[in-house]
């Protein structure tokens, strides 16, 4: 009997411990006076580094959104820059309170994370060299070719599903992926349109391929939280998103970000 009770007690304790450790709550963020936001730094116009007064500065629409969330909570925004493939895991491990990195909401991810309302609708495109525009004008024409996608992104799945005969090359850094495309190690790269356009505006040898990826189920960006996060915190984030969308603030952030040049340095880690 004692043994059974002991085992039961252990189970209950463990259960409560997991319930508490998964997800952060608003109060603990307010108590520590800062919100740790996991992000990345090669994803203009959402998050990237640019030189401002000679200083490497993290800017972009997601960064502004993060600052607005911190302001709503009355705390400091503490951005933690990491590779994209570590961003989601960092909210589960508790390394970050929330993640903002152009993260697309998918059914798969919804099983493991909580999400805010979405704040941006993205579309996927393929970038090629201008000189290959005619050669790669159908999905089939890329069969046997090397196609790049960012490690941990939904673009990896898009490439696997829609370009099954191409060889997928997963890279951590978008900047590196673009370099490999420019020097012919990759023949094509899958990126979301806004990001692709940013790179194309800085590289006049690149262009968007004239081929249509099947529109994948929604590709909308949202803020990610650990599963089981305090509903109050999610509601506060939703309030900021709703307001930024309604007032046109979010579009203005994207507009402003488009006036900066993305540094050609590769990301941390």
Residues that bind ligand ARG (CB under 6 A): 40, 43, 47, 84, 101-104, 150, 153-154, 192
Task: Please say which residue, 176 or 230, places its beta carbon nearer to ligand ARG.
Answer: 176
**Residue 39: CB minimum distance to ligand ARG, A:** 7
**Residue 99: CB minimum distance to ligand ARG, A:** 10
**Residue 22: CB minimum distance to ligand ARG, A:** 21
**Residue 65: CB minimum distance to ligand ARG, A:** 13
**Residue 104: CB minimum distance to ligand ARG, A:** 4
The DSSP bridge pattern shows strands 146-150 and 167-171 to be: parallel
The DSSP bridge pattern shows strands 113-121 and 220-226 to be: antiparallel
Q: How far is CA 153 from CA 64, 148, 215, in A?
A: 22, 11, 16
Task: Please say which residue, 23 or 175, places its beta carbon nearer to ligand ARG.
Answer: 175
Task: Please say which residue, 103 or 178, places its beta carbon nearer to ligand ARG.
Answer: 103
Task: Please say which residue, 108 or 140, places its beta carbon nearer to ligand ARG.
Answer: 108
Sign of the torsion angle spanned by Cα atoms 176, 178, 180, 186: positive
Q: How many angstroms separate the CA atoms of 226 and 116, rounded?
A: 11
Task: Please say which residue, 84 or 199, places its beta carbon nearer to ligand ARG.
Answer: 84
Per-residue b or e along 200-237, where b marks 16 or more CB atoms closer than 10 Å to that residue's CB: beebeebbebebebeebeebbbbbbbbebbbeebbebb
Q: How many angstroms separate the CA atoms of 162 and 159, rounded?
A: 5
């Amino acid at each position: 009997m004692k043994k059974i009770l002991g085992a039961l007690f252990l189970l209950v304790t463990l259960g409560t411990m997991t319930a508490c450790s998964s997800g952060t709550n608003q109060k603990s963020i307010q108590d520590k006076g800062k919100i740790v936001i996991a992000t990345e730094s090669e994803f203009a116009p959402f998050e990237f580094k640019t030189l401002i007064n000679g200083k490497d500065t993290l800017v972009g629409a997601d960064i502004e959104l993060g600052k607005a969330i911190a302001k709503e909570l009355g705390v400091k925004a503490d951005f933690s820059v990491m590779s994209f493939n570590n961003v989601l895991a960092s909210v589960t491990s508790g390394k970050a309170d929330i993640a903002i990195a152009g993260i697309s909401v998918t059914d798969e991810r919804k099983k493991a994370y909580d999400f805010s309302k979405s704040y941006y609708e993205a579309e996927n495109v393929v970038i090629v060299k201008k000189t290959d525009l005619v050669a790669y004008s159908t999905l089939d024409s890329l069969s046997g070719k090397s196609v790049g996608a960012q490690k941990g992104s939904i673009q990896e799945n898009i490439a696997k599903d829609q370009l099954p005969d191409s060889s997928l090359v997963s890279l951590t850094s978008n900047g590196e992926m673009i370099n490999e495309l420019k020097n012919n190690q990759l023949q094509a790269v899958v990126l979301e349109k806004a990001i692709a356009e940013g790179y194309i505006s800085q590289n006049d040898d690149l262009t968007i391929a004239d081929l249509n990826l099947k529109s994948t189920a929604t590709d909308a960006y949202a803020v990610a939280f650990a599963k089981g996060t305090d509903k109050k915190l999610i509601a506060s984030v939703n309030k900021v998103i709703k307001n930024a969308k309604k007032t046109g603030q979010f579009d203005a952030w994207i507009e402003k970000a488009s006036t900066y040049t993305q540094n050609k340095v590769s990301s941390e880690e």
